[in-house]
Structure 1
Amino acid sequence: MHPQVEAVTAAIRERSIRSRAAYLAQIQAAPPGRKGLSCGNLAHGMAACSATDKDRLRMVDAVNIGLVTAYNDMLSAHQPYESYPAQIRQALRGMGATGQVAGGVPAMCDGVTQGEPGMELSLASRDVIAMSTAIALSHNMFDGALCLGICDKIVPGLLMGALRFGHLPVLFVPAGPMPSGLPNSEKARVRELFAAGKVDRDALLAAESASYHSAGTCTFYGTANTNQMLLEAMGLQLPGASFVAPGTPLRDALTNHAAEQVVRLAQAGDVRLADILDERALVNALVMLLATGGSTNLTIHLVAIGQAAGLQLRWEDMAALSAVVPTLAHIYPSGKADINQFHAAGGTAWLFSQLLAGGLLHEQVHTVAGFGLAHYCHEPVLQDGKLHWREGPQVSLDESILRPLETPFLADGGLRLLQGNLGRGVLKVSAVDQAHWQVSAPCRVFDDQEAFVAAFQAGELDRDCVAVLRFQGPRANGMPELHKLMPYLGVLQDRGHQVALVTDGRMSGASGKVPAAIHLCPEAANGGPLAYLRDGDLIALDAGQGYLKVALDEAAWQARTPALQPQSIRRGLGRELFAFMRAEASSAEQGGSVFTASLQQADR
């Protein structure tokens, strides 16, 4: 093992001794499940089942699997899940087991809500999903669970909820990416042309529709596909299952195998979710995040996921690993390739083999595929109609997409922890040309995205400029993503200006060529440094050195009073219902979660 990986793992383990012990004690004390239910409880739980399934459910040693599904027609990635329950139940019956949809969880599409008021519910939806998962599994009818979810907040929410039922075996079941459409780089080019007023809305909609065009996960390497990569790294999804297209025989075979495998795990009773997701699995997920230039959203979600398992992960851990984990994959926005091209170039099997060979992943861990992460160096195939796993490629099939440890795209993971008198935040440089890693320019301060767009359209930003978007944190407005700004900032950069974004909001995996210092803590709504900034203050950002500073002496800084958040009431589109969550949300550095305080109290 690489000594830095060992050191970070040991640090997480050491600081989590009390909270992890409390979590495991709670899991050990879980009730006995269906066999402990009263006759009335059991009768209610199986009332709608077929006669055959009822006969099995009466047998205390028979396995019943709970399905928690994020199916809806709004998310292209989740639309294929419509037919999964029937398929999975059939596969379970073939194993002498039963399955029930335990519950559905909300699943919003960030692509639909980007730049809209509904985006302010996005991060909060993760915690709602976690609670919905807990409600689904609280019926205590189940010997294992299958989680059907892929996208942004859905996978973290499902996992956070399922972890509180860590006494069960749990598998995640993907649905696969949509076929490649208009190249993502071309889509981005049209967006910038529209922002510059050079093409009309019809041209923009045509480009977007050619990119997002069918059922399946979006093909750029945003949070959804990062989730899939990390589920494999944590050993919670079948090897190589993430990026097999929906509606194919191989996809169906993998779904059936997931159903069969959770039954095997439940029958064996020796590998629970709590056994799989420990500090080593969390570190493996971090390494995969860094090696692939994955979504910065996971710098928030992995902290919250760790808390749900009694593990205390910090941004310093991420920075320490980023210093030694090389970037081996270039997938849009870091490169030009989409996720289908990544899969064809060698995909997850090749990545796992490289990272294991470099001592960057813990191999001796439990997974849903068996003991040892080496299972994930294999890829699924159909032979004579039957599912098998074969050894993955020994070399990259396209070094513009995947490179070996000896010749990485970057020597490190491209994730920077930024510190300075403007607080602490993160910045991803894997898609940013090194010529733009240092920016020093006067700032222009905005309290919402609409004001920024108006200033751009009025020609007020056509110069070197650091755009500051404040009051975008978890407590201010739910911490929406700010992709609406990137085409405009890209236009300014293309005109030769030094530009950067500084914000207490989010940007995620789709952030691109403009340096973006995000997740600033403490946030402006809590009196953080961004609340003291004024137009024209000189801000220096250095991704290489990891600092973010404003050039203002201490006396002048102390003489200022913080700006107050605009008194726009967060009403409309249901936002008023989430006011209590905004009030209780922890900082981005602590996971941006309403559960942080309660979990810390429970783990004492």
Structure 2
Amino acid sequence: MNRNAVLKSVTDRIIERSREPRAAYVAQMEAAGGRGPRRLSLSCGNLAHGFAACPASDKEAMKGARAANIGIVTAYNDMLSAHQPFEAYPEIIRSALRDVRATGQVAGGVPAMCDGVTQGQAGMELSLFSRDVIAMSTAIALSHDMFDGVLCLGVCDKIVPGLLMGALRFGHLPTIFIPAGPMRSGLPNPEKARIRQLYAEGKASREDLLEAESASYHSPGTCTFYGTANSNQMLMEIMGLHLPGAAFVNPDDPMRRPITEASARAVVDLTETGSNPTPLYKVVDERSIANAIVGLHATGGSTNHTLHLVAIARAAGILVNWDDFDELAAVTPLLCRIYPNGPADVNHFHAAGGLALVIRELIDAGLLHEDVRTVAGRGLRAYTQEPFEASDGIKWQSGAAESANTDIVRPVSAPFSEDGGLRVLDGPLGRAVIKVSAVKPEHHVVSAPAIVFDSQDTFIERFKAGELDRDFVAVIRFQGPRANGMPELHKLSPSLGVLQDRGFKVALVTDGRMSGASGKVPAAIHVSPEAACDGPLARVCDGDIITLDARSGRLDIAADLSRRPPATAGKSSETGIGRELFAGFRSVATSAESGAISLPGLDGAGTAGEAVST
């Protein structure tokens, strides 16, 4: 199959741009690998400490030179629905490893916070930086050098990117990600959104709202809308880091345990002592990163990955920027309608054909690099298959050849739109991204006077006071990484949605985030440079005419900002809820386009500097 010319061009450009840092990274990984079982390099005292708590049979295996020892890095906690199922996984994994004469240990845990719990709260200002804490925690877990392979247990927003960033610094080891799956469908997402808007208008009580939310988020598993968490699972699949078909199997599905067991056995085969050695750095390369960007566009995934994929790539010595996202979006058709881009949830998507169908369609259209390394031991075509349980164990068979519901997933020949719906905006206000796949065409261009806010709480106060019933562009500034950790601003969504439904032309421009739940109101997000770094947003005043044009890719303002002094941030958000502990993160965080990274050295060349725009 001929490869799409733009996919080839963008990938070639990424390879050329990344030549030096990628070569340095690969050299580092090659120097770290090739030593057989890692624990053999430890002293007797080191090793004795490392297996002191193990059962006698595991100790005997680890004393020898043949058995692989697998490190489990887990995001388990029992407060968060997505990660609660992981409580039982370590014992399932250890048992499966013993079946193939290997051993496993929980190498460490990583924090897992939920944006759904902290949304609109002060704790959200720690959310983005938790990704980098998770990367460091993963490195600490693996730093004991006891392990020959890695199993990462994580699902949600910052957890999977952080796990992968940390694991990539140990890229000489094979790594497989094991998800827990989405909760089963509850209250339909459009109904939940309707009640949220009624509550914002004062037409529904808090009891009504809590009942609706509880019916939506009701059991173990990931939230069912297609936000960052479920976009993570798509990415792990399309990058070849899951076993095929693992992403969207429910926690209580009979297939969930066999997939987990098969993942444990598979990573042993990928170790240096296995039959198919496949270190992580050979799986995550420039082609798999390009594939991830295409998958994001084709499924209408989370805008958070315009940050996370950049950061993940840098952890592997690869430099990508928003121009790469923009060019690939232009040639990638939107194949899915999953909430907030449509009424269906990820369970409906999975039943309609799911990722196996999407990946087959994209490969056959030349929109994915098929010849990549994967943890399945074959190229990406393996991910057009789905698992089933046979009498002699888990097997894979071809997935759906066509959609079971074309209102949810479609072929490349009849997409929902010709492009992926994620676009880059540029202009005198800086660079931004916008997700338009859920925005009606009549709202793709908004030109209106600015109303400037330095917090989302101020916006909500004015909305409740009835002061925003007009056409306007809400400028919410001092929300970037350096200012306050770049929180998501979904607290604004119901109010903005109400105003749009009332017939007003409204849009949002912010250096903060909106993420995978970005909905029907046009939102230019991740504006860079941010206001706290003397970006143009710091000079915008009420009444300035701002034009957000998603069709032409422009973010314009009818004012000469150069003649104005910059505003300074209002209310301080540097203390409370632990925020003072993250002052160092805020002080060094790179721009949104460079991944909002607070860990210098994560590009494989010793620096976390800016990506070069082309």
Q: What's the TM-score, normalizing by structure 1?
A: 0.98
Structure-2 residue corresponding to 1:307: 314
In structure 1, which of residues 581, 589, 592 is the aligned counterpart of residue 585 of structure 2?
A: 581
1:10 aligns with 2:12: yes
Structure-2 residue corresponding to 1:40: 45
In structure 1, which of residues 103, 108, 118 is the aligned counterpart of residue 113 of structure 2?
A: 108
1:213 aligns with 2:215: no
Partner SS state of residue 268, structure 1: coil
1:71-128 CA distance string (max 9 Å, x none): 0012101000000001110000111000000000000011000000000000000000
Q: Which runs of 4+ in 1 moved over 6 A?
A: none
Q: Is the 8 A contact 1:20 1:603 kept in 2?
A: no
2: CA distance between counterparts of 1:594 and 1:349?
35
Structure-1 residue corresponding to 2:576: 572
1:449-482 CA distance string (max 9 Å, x none): 1100001011111010111100000000000000
1:592 aligns with 2:596: yes
User: Structure 1 residues 443 and 253, CA, compared in 2 at 3 Å: closer, same or farther?
Assistant: same
1:205-261 CA distance string (max 9 Å, x none): 000000000000100000000000010110000111100011222100000000000
Question: Post-superposition shift, 1:597?
Answer: 5.3
User: Structure 1 residues 449 and 325, CA, compared in 2 at 3 Å: closer, same or farther?
Assistant: same
Structure-1 residue corresponding to 2:133: 128
Partner SS state of residue 151, structure 2: strand
Q: Which amino acid aligns with 2:577?
A: L
Q: Which amino acid aligns with 2:40?
A: K
Question: Post-superposition shift, 1:601?
Answer: 4.8
2: CA distance between counterparts of 1:60 and 1:444?
67
Question: Post-superposition shift, 1:385?
Answer: 6.8
Question: Post-superposition shift, 1:500?
Answer: 0.4
Q: Is the 8 A contact 1:475 1:585 kept in 2?
A: yes
In structure 2, which of residues 554, 563, 578 is the aligned counterpart of residue 559 of structure 1?
A: 563
1:489-524 CA distance string (max 9 Å, x none): 000000000000100000000010000000000000
In structure 1, which of residues 482, 490, 494 is the aligned counterpart of residue 489 of structure 2?
A: 482
1:460 aligns with 2:461: no
1: CA distance between counterparts of 2:541 and 2:284?
45
Structure-2 residue corresponding to 1:98: 103
Give the 5 Å matches for 1:68-79.
Answer: 68-79=73-84
Q: Is the 8 A contact 2:473 2:508 kept in 1?
A: yes
2: CA distance between counterparts of 1:180 and 1:481?
25
2: CA distance between counterparts of 1:202 and 1:501?
29
Question: Post-superposition shift, 1:565?
Answer: 1.3
Greater CA deviation, 143-152 or 591-600?
591-600
Structure-2 residue corresponding to 1:338: 345
Partner SS state of residue 91, structure 2: helix
1: CA distance between counterparts of 2:520 and 2:119?
19
Give the 5 Å matches for 1:73-92.
Answer: 73-92=78-97
2: CA distance between counterparts of 1:464 and 1:277?
46
1:252 aligns with 2:257: yes
Partner SS state of residue 326, structure 2: helix
Q: Which amino acid aligns with 1:128?
A: V
In structure 2, which of residues 19, 28, 31 is the aligned counterpart of residue 29 of structure 1?
A: 31
Structure-2 residue corresponding to 1:324: 331
1:290 aligns with 2:297: yes
2: CA distance between counterparts of 1:481 and 1:493?
20
1: CA distance between counterparts of 2:261 and 2:410?
33
1: CA distance between counterparts of 2:319 and 2:572?
35
1:276 aligns with 2:298: no
Q: Which amino acid aligns with 2:27?
A: A
1: CA distance between counterparts of 2:581 and 2:152?
27
Structure-2 residue corresponding to 1:149: 154
Q: Which amino acid aligns with 2:430?
A: G
Partner SS state of residue 426, structure 2: strand
Q: Is the 8 A contact 1:439 1:500 kept in 2?
A: yes
1: CA distance between counterparts of 2:574 and 2:246?
40
Q: Which amino acid aligns with 1:210?
A: A
1:361 aligns with 2:363: no
Structure-1 residue corresponding to 2:440: 433
1:526 aligns with 2:530: no
User: Structure 1 residues 320 and 66, CA, compared in 2 at 3 Å: closer, same or farther?
Assistant: same
Q: Which amino acid aligns with 2:562?
A: Q
Question: Post-superposition shift, 1:334?
Answer: 0.3
CA RMSD of aligned residues (A): 1.1
Q: Is the 8 A contact 2:270 2:278 kept in 1?
A: yes
Q: Is the 8 A contact 1:307 1:596 kept in 2?
A: no
2: CA distance between counterparts of 1:229 and 1:597?
27
2: CA distance between counterparts of 1:38 and 1:259?
27
1: CA distance between counterparts of 2:82 and 2:451?
38
Structure-2 residue corresponding to 1:176: 181
Partner SS state of residue 444, structure 1: strand
Question: Post-superposition shift, 1:58?
Answer: 0.6
Q: Percent of aligned pairs with the same residue?
A: 62
Question: Post-superposition shift, 1:269?
Answer: 5.6
Structure-2 residue corresponding to 1:194: 199
Question: Post-superposition shift, 1:386?
Answer: 2.7
Partner SS state of residue 249, structure 1: coil
Structure-1 residue corresponding to 2:611: none
1: CA distance between counterparts of 2:270 and 2:17?
30
2: CA distance between counterparts of 1:332 and 1:129?
28
Question: Post-superposition shift, 1:558?
Answer: 2.2
Q: Is the 8 A contact 2:189 2:343 kept in 1?
A: yes
Q: Which amino acid aligns with 1:574?
A: G
Q: Is the 8 A contact 1:18 1:603 kept in 2?
A: no
1:236 aligns with 2:241: yes
Q: Is the 8 A contact 2:25 2:604 kept in 1?
A: no
Structure-1 residue corresponding to 2:124: 119
1:55 aligns with 2:60: yes
1: CA distance between counterparts of 2:606 and 2:159?
24
1: CA distance between counterparts of 2:11 and 2:162?
24
Q: Is the 8 A contact 1:326 1:409 kept in 2?
A: yes
1: CA distance between counterparts of 2:573 and 2:166?
30
Structure-1 residue corresponding to 2:71: 66
Partner SS state of residue 403, structure 1: coil
Q: Is the 8 A contact 2:298 2:420 kept in 1?
A: yes
Partner SS state of residue 412, structure 1: coil
2: CA distance between counterparts of 1:233 and 1:428?
21
Question: Post-superposition shift, 1:567?
Answer: 5.0
1: CA distance between counterparts of 2:381 and 2:423?
29
1: CA distance between counterparts of 2:410 and 2:519?
21
Q: Which amino acid aligns with 1:518?
A: I
Partner SS state of residue 135, structure 2: helix
Mark the runs of 5 or more structure 1 residues left unpaired by the alignment.
none
In structure 2, which of residues 421, 439, 455 is the aligned counterpart of residue 414 of structure 1?
A: 421
Q: Which amino acid aligns with 2:402?
A: V
2: CA distance between counterparts of 1:537 and 1:355?
43
2: CA distance between counterparts of 1:8 and 1:270?
29
1: CA distance between counterparts of 2:133 and 2:194?
36
1:503 aligns with 2:510: yes
